[in-house]
Amino acid sequence: MRLRPTALAVLTAALCFSAQARPPVAAPAASAAPPGAQDGIHAETGAQRGSVRAASTRAASVFTLDDAFGRIQDTHPDLRLFGNQRSVLEAERDIAAQKPAYVAGAAIDNALGTGALSGTKAAEVTLTLASVFERGGKLDARRAFAQSRIDALAVDREGRRLDLLAETARRYLAVVAEQRRIELAEFDIAQRKRAVAAARVRLEAGASPESGLLTAQAQLARAELDRSRAQRALLAARQFLAALWGERDPGFAAVAGDPFALPQVQDATALASLLERSPELTRFVDQRRIAESRVRLAQTQSKADVDWQVGLRRQQENGDFGFVASVSMPLGAAARAEPGIRGAQAELAMLETEREAKGLSLYSTLVEAQGRYRLGALETERLKQDVLPRLERAEKAAEYAYRAGAISYLELALLQAESVAVRRQRLDAALDAQLALIEIQRLTGEPFLAVTTAPAGAMP
pLDDT category, 434, cuts 50, 70, 90?
very high
Percent of the chain with pLDDT over 70: 82
More confident residue, 221 or 283: 221
Q: Spell out the SS3 assignment of 393-446.
A: HHHHHHHHHHHCCCCCHHHHHHHHHHHHHHHHHHHHHHHHHHHHHHHHHHHHCC
Question: What is the per-residue DSSP string for 151-174?
Answer: HHHHHHHHHHHHHHHHHHHHHHHH
**Rounded distance between C-alpha atoms, residue 16 and residue 263, angstroms:** 8
> What is the residue-averaged pLDDT of the chain?
79
Q: Quick one: pLDDT at residue 12?
A: 38
Q: Quick one: pLDDT at residue 6?
A: 38
β-strand partners of 128: 105, 311
Q: Quick one: pLDDT at residue 212?
A: 83
Q: Quick one: pLDDT at residue 273?
A: 82
Q: Quick one: pLDDT at residue 136?
A: 84
Flag whether pLDDT at 111 surpasses 60: yes
**C-beta of residue 124 within 8 angstroms of C-beta of residue 324:** no
The helix (run of H) or strand (run of E) holding residue 373 is: helix 333-382
The helix (run of H) or strand (run of E) holding residue 65 is: helix 65-75
**C-beta of residue 96 within 8 angstroms of C-beta of residue 145:** yes
Residues 301-339 have pLDDT tens digits of 888 888 888 988 887 767 788 888 889 888 888 888 889
Burial 296-307 (b: 16+ CB within 10 A, else e): bbbbbbbbbbeb
**Rounded distance between C-alpha atoms, residue 12 and residue 17, angstroms:** 7
Q: Quick one: pLDDT at residue 173?
A: 94
Rounded alpha-carbon distances, angstroms, from residue 50 to 46, 54, 147, 267, 350: 6, 6, 61, 52, 69
pLDDT average, residue stretch 164-178: 92
β-strand partners of 261: none
pLDDT category, 17, cuts 50, 70, 90?
very low
pLDDT category, 116, cuts 50, 70, 90?
low
- Provide the sign of the torsion angle of the four alpha carbons 45, 48, 49, 50, taken in this order: positive
Q: Quick one: pLDDT at residue 235?
A: 92
Instruction: Enter the pTM of the model.
Output: 0.73
How many other C-beta atoms lie within 10 A of the C-beta of residue 60?
Answer: 9
pLDDT average, residue stretch 187-213: 87
**C-beta of residue 423 within 8 angstroms of C-beta of residue 388:** yes
Flag whether pLDDT at 29 surpasses 80: no
**Rounded distance between C-alpha atoms, residue 98 and residue 144, angstroms:** 13
- The amino acid at residue 204 is E
Flag whether pLDDT at 368 surpasses 50: yes
Highest mean pLDDT among 3-17, 78-92, 115-129, 219-233: 219-233
pLDDT average, residue stretch 95-113: 85
**C-beta of residue 278 within 8 angstroms of C-beta of residue 445:** yes
Flag whether pLDDT at 46 surpasses 70: no
Residues 344-365 have pLDDT tens digits of 889 888 888 888 898 899 899 9
E-state strands within 257-296: none
Which residues, 6+ apart, have CB-to-CB distance to 347 below 8 Å? 291, 294
